[in-house]
Amino acid sequence: MNMQRKLTSAALLAMGFAVAAPALADTDTTVTTVTKTSKHHYVYYGDHQIYFAPETKTYYWETDGAWKSGTELPSERRTYVTAGGVELDLDTDHPYERNEWVVKHYRDKHDGDEKHEHDNR
C-alpha cells in the first residue's frame, strides 16, 4: 500500500510538472530581433542603366521594362561597361530597387567625377 501511494504521488507530481513546464517556458522566453543593414558596392553606368556588383561579379540591366541579372551582359551591351561608371554603395542586394533614387542623383555622373558613397534607405 505504501508503494502504491508513492507511485500515485509520483504520477501526480509528474502531471503537475507537465502542466506547469509549458507555462514556465512561455514566461521565460526572450525574443530578440536583429535588423541587419549592410551596404553593397556597385558600379553604375547611368548612360545605359547598367549596374555591376564587383563582389559577386553580377551585372544588372533593364530590358523592355524588366530588370535582368547575370555574370555576363548581353553582347550588345558589353562595350558600355569599359569606362564611365560611377562607384556607389546601396543598402540593397538588388540595385534596381533604388534605381529611381540613383537616376536622380547619378545619371549624369561619370568615371573621373568624385567617388560617391551613399547608404540609401
15 three-state secondary structure: helix
* Percent of the chain topping pLDDT 70: 58
Q: Using CA atoms, how far apart are residues 57 and 76, in angstroms rounded to an integer? A: 19
pLDDT tier for residue 59 given thresholds of 50, 70 and 90: very high
For position 56, what pLDDT does the model report? Answer: 95
Mean pLDDT over the full length of the chain: 77
pLDDT in tens, 3-34: 666 666 666 566 665 655 555 555 565 565 54
Beta-carbon count within 10 A of 50 CB: 21
Task: Tell me: pLDDT of 92 over 70.
Answer: yes
